[in-house]
Amino acid sequence: MSITYYLLQIPPLVFFVSIIIVGAISAGLGTYFFHKYVKLKVLRSHNEVTGFFFTAIASLYSLLLGFVVFVVWGQLNETQGNVSIEGSSAMGLYRDIKFYPDTIEAKELMTVYLDFVFNVVNEEIPNMGLMKTSQKTAESFNQVFYKIEHLNPKNQFQIQLVAEMFHHLNELATYRELRTSSIEAEIPPIMWLPIILGALITLICSLLVDIENLHIHIILNSLLGAFIGMLFFIIIILDHPFTGNLSIKPESYMQIFTMEHWADEGKVKS
């Protein structure tokens, strides 16, 4: 597992504050020790050139970070979209089973289907948060296929309803596969090298800009370090859509349990 996965185990607010503090203190201390131990008298005479290069490097680095944020944000939106379509298909399949006229076959199929839904909510999604897959959920999903395949429709309406079940089931299988494969869609470790190196280069260039007042220089560089830390937080928090407190939840699957509970309560009251 990547280090970003373990960072997401920290509560979001604590992680946000911590990474800002680390960035600010690192940049501030770096500025202080640079002024204390590095004596370059030529800095002020070359301040105009140094400032130009700092602006150029900071601009290029901001483009790099903007590109990375755009990529991870796009991946998150795509994953959320796939999960929404999967949930819609799961809900459609639930309704098809619920209103299948043959109550005996419908009850047997619903039992198998609810077992699959239970495994998605209580095993597969939590396992994805741990960067793992769930063999048990895959097996229960195959059982749903098997049960629908062996339905015995007795009239045209039932034949059409079984065809609709297969449509929802195939759509559910497609988007479930897209969801489970998304746990591997994280920023490759090699990509973190230019991101971190770019931050160091930017901060080093900010040290070379000569500012007469040491306290102002420390404050400005600390703010720069804090801002870079905030961007790192955004990238990390968006990189793992199923990990951490801000992870994607299987709301449609959980709604199926709620609807089934309401249906059971209605039967008891009647």
Encode 39-79 in three state secondary structure.
CCCCCCCCHHHHHHHHHHHHHHHHHHHHHHHHHHHHHHHHH
Per-residue pLDDT, 247: 79
Per-residue pLDDT, 201: 92
Round to whole Å and give the CA distance between 194 and 27. 18
129: containing domain: 3-269
Q: Assign 270 a pLDDT band (cuts: 50, 70, 90).
A: very low
Please tell me whether residue 103 adopts helix, strand or coil conformation: helix
Which segment of 79-83, 204-208, 266-270 scores lowest on mean pLDDT? 266-270
| Position 21 pLDDT exceeds 90 | yes
Given a contact cutoff of 8 angstroms between Cβ atoms, the answer to whether 196 and 3 are in contact is no
Given a contact cutoff of 8 angstroms between Cβ atoms, the answer to whether 229 and 23 are in contact is yes
Tokens of 84: 């929404």
Query: What is the percent of the chain where pLDDT is above 70?
Result: 92
Q: What is the arithmetic mean of pLDDT over 17-33? A: 92
Per-residue pLDDT, 264: 54
Q: What is the arithmetic mean of pLDDT over 69-82? A: 88
Comparing 129 with 230, the larger pLDDT belongs to: 230
Per-residue pLDDT, 269: 47
Q: Considering its fold, how many domains does the chain have in total?
A: 1
Q: What is the arithmetic mean of pLDDT over 10-15? A: 86
Tokens of 24: 């600010």
Round to whole Å and give the CA distance between 44 and 201. 20
Given a contact cutoff of 8 angstroms between Cβ atoms, the answer to whether 232 and 38 are in contact is no
Per-residue pLDDT, 134: 80
| Position 229 pLDDT exceeds 90 | yes
Q: What is the arithmetic mean of pLDDT over 78-105? A: 89
| Residue showing tokens 């959920």 | 137
Question: If we measure between CA atoms, which residue out of 230, 227, 206 comes closest to residue 218?
Answer: 206
Question: If we measure between CA atoms, which residue out of 259, 237, 178, 260 comes closest to residue 5?
Answer: 237
pTM, entire model: 0.77
Q: How far is CA 146 from CA 38, 93, 164, 229, in A?
A: 73, 14, 15, 51
Per-residue pLDDT, 268: 41
What single DSSP character describes residue 152?
-
Average pLDDT, whole number, for the chain? 85
Given a contact cutoff of 8 angstroms between Cβ atoms, the answer to whether 198 and 235 are in contact is no
Per-residue pLDDT, 240: 82
| Position 234 pLDDT exceeds 80 | yes
Residue-wise pLDDT for 126-167, tens only, equals 888 877 878 888 899 999 999 888 888 888 888 899 899 999
Q: What is the arithmetic mean of pLDDT over 95-114? A: 89
